[in-house]
Structure 1
Amino acid sequence: MALSQHAYSRIAKKVQAPLPATAGWSPPPMRDLIARIDAALLERRAS
């Protein structure tokens, strides 16, 4: 699970970093991001 924890922290850092091009955009809640990541990881394992 260390790899997915690393992915979570990388994505969290990206979400927290302010992006000039997306000034009016707010990121989705962290639980939604985690759910999306988990779904993608499960999909990848299944294939």
Structure 2
Amino acid sequence: MNALVKTWICWNDTIAFLYKNVVYRQREVSVKVGKVASNTMIYSGNIASE
């Protein structure tokens, strides 16, 4: 029982760690990419309309 609980706690910590690092960074990156993409579209739209 103790080993199972320890494994469970360790597993939860690992998931939390991965979630914080991977998902948070991915969200940051996707926000940056989204901003760049929308700025590029606006910019190219302005060029096309001129």
TM-score class, shorter: 0.3 to 0.5
- Of Structure 1 and Structure 2, which has the larger fraction of its residues in helix? 2
Q: Which has the higher contact order (CA 8 A, sep 6+)?
A: 1
Structure-1-length-normalised TM-score: 0.40
